[in-house]
Amino acid sequence: MTDKHKKSKKEIIITGFGGQGIIMAGRILGRSAALGDRKESVFTQSYGPESRGGACNAQVVISEEPIRYPYVRHPDILICMSQTGYEKFIMQMTNETILLIDQDLVHLTLNKCDSFSIPATRMAEELGRKMMANIIMLGFCTTITKVVSIDAALDSVADSVPKGTEETNIRAFKKGFDYGLAILKGRDRKAVGKTGAV
């Protein structure tokens, strides 16, 4: 596989438990890529024995070219919203994987790749809607990975959430997006500080 082909395709796993909106998050991400950014996109989902409370994951492949295989072997991006999900997919990560976690729900046991954490569930609770943690995580993912454009993601969120909740969900998305921006700025400042100190 050439470097060019690697760059043109992104494989994403979103994992957690039923009731967190994991499947919806995957659907929104795939829709953002296909309808908003005009890329090829494939979405698959998997539930554990129980839909609510059981393990579940969404897999999304986004590419500039036709997608011949819809399943993710080694995620470029792994989004974990439960410890069980993290432990299930940890061995599929590579050094190049970008790992995003809900910091109150996932504790890293093996950190072999670049990782970013956000208190998504806590932030959703502060907004009065715990169920919006998935949307906050999507905003965070959009900033950190740039796997889809912000305009495409916002349009997809507005079109996918229940009628009457669009504004609240967009606010949740922006909260996650802004949190990601703050983290990236902090990392840039640290990098500049290290460079300046040499």
Domains located in the chain, CATH noted: 3-197 (3.40.920.10)
Residue 120 CA: distances (Å) to CA of 38, 84, 114, 160, 191: 28, 17, 18, 19, 26
Chain segment 157-178, per-residue pLDDT in tens: 999 999 999 999 999 999 999 9
Q: Supply the pLDDT for residue 7.
A: 59
In the chain, the N- to C-terminal Cα span, in Å, equals 38
Give the residues of the chain that fall short of pLDDT 70: 1-7, 48-53, 194-198
Contact between residue 48 and residue 55 where contact means Cβ atoms under 8 Å apart:
yes
Which stretches within the chain are classed as H helix? 3-8, 22-31, 83-89, 120-126, 133-145, 150-160, 166-197
Tell me the pLDDT of the chain averaged across its residues: 90
Q: Supply the pLDDT for residue 48.
A: 61
d(CA 46, CA 134): 17
- Whether the pTM exceeds 0.95: the reply is no
Number of H helices and number of E strands within the chain?
7, 6
Q: Supply the pLDDT for residue 3.
A: 41
Q: Supply the pLDDT for residue 2.
A: 37
Chain segment 113-130, per-residue pLDDT in tens: 899 999 999 999 999 999
Sheet with strand 98-102: strands edge to edge: 40-47, 55-63, 9-17, 77-80, 98-102, 114-118
Q: Supply the pLDDT for residue 195.
A: 60
Q: Supply the pLDDT for residue 180.
A: 98
d(CA 155, CA 62): 17
Count how many Cα atoms sit within 13 Å of the Cα of residue 136 in the half-sphere of its side chain: 27
Q: Supply the pLDDT for residue 50.
A: 47
